[in-house]
Structure 1
């Protein structure tokens, strides 16, 4: 074997060792290196998670007229109501921050003072966890500039962003957004997100938009939201935004029509309802598994009971 052949063989052996025991090739900015199998050195690149899992629904049934569904009761068994607050109202999502080596899991939720109403003092709190099972509740609200419920948090290239149903403006109309460098404190009020309200009473989104579920795909923000108007108490719309200032106008997907509707022929006419047994639909949380998006929502049965809804889609 020539000297050149021996060097080539050695180089191939070194490359094989690096591939076996080193960092695999490829990957993209923001991805994480994780175990891909049980064997030694089996690793691969995966996307960093924004949202993990579902909230505990306390075993409600998904049948028409089933057990009443109350999101504020859901987390009461693991996180107590903050001191000085009367109860919890609208939980948000769980986020995972791999840069936080102590408490990478965060759960955002809202709690109110006195008797709940549309004008009640309602504020966003945050609980933290090292393992996603045992939680330490926050003792003070993380946002005090506005009354906010239905918080939803996502990591973007501009920082951690919190979207919520704004209760300071009455009657409620828009989704408010805030930004933080670490997702824990120092939240800056950026104003209203540009998720469209048509301001035309006959439109499906003519009265207000709320209950945001926001996620990133590449540099694009997506937002599933509840929209209401006269004669239409809740359907789900989808909007997206490609820039760096999400207070600017977002674009409605699905040719400007809602992506999911309840059984409301009076308003939607001949369009087939997405869920036949529910009069309305409101988004709660989203997770993607492979190429399938699973949306946890809640609806109102014909017997006027709040019940959970699970929807699936292969496109966003």
Structure 2
């Protein structure tokens, strides 16, 4: 059994333990145990030696089964979405630990979600992780008959597929609670249009405002999960500076950054003149010159759960769909403070 850094035993050794001991990547260890090309004989010997010393035993039954299967999970991803990048970072190691490979298929302005999904099906992917899908339910049901489908960030309750998402209402409630406790009353929400999670966040914003007795201050501006949409919403607010809100809550970090940029260009300070909060806790939000108050959706946990849900459906098609909700956490940074005066 492997030991942790504190010397205590921590359960069965994993592929990650073997990789660390052999001084190679987890992906390379996976190749070695599946007898795939890509590793030299010296590297193979080093991996097998590390496995022997740790007492690691690959699942030979699964390897036998894999000979008649692809053991590939496809991932539909939007490359410009920083939250999707965080999810992919978690998906790769989780899949490797379970003996699966990952194949990415990206959407782009000239390549829609259906094209991305059909490409994955064409490569005989046994499972599909759909990151932030905007697909219609009928198509998801159709694809779910061909592969183990797991949407991440959006629920499809009547399609017979598992799903993984953040508990949106909890995250939004934390944002509004934080702003209200600082003394804000006039809190505007820039929504995300039809993007995943937007409807839930919009509804949760209204509920949280009412809970604080701020129903008369509810105001939702139409938007999208882009910087341009955030900047456009900010321009709507700047058109009447005599009635500026004291705080803005954007449906995601990209929109929040667009809001911040527009306010800065207009000569307003954040949080001195107006507080701004987002949702996602992206790498951009963490940069020192942005320092955005936002909601962390725990992409590490979401990625792991998505892989496990797909594998469970692949290996036991009769297991039935499951809905996994991950608790988010508010991260308070420098873009929110008490309102002036």
Taking structure 2 as the reference length, the TM-score comes to 0.26
Higher share of residues assigned helix = 2
Higher share of residues assigned strand = 1
> Looking at both structures, which has the greater relative contact order when contacts are Cα pairs under 8 Å and sequence separation is at least 6?
2
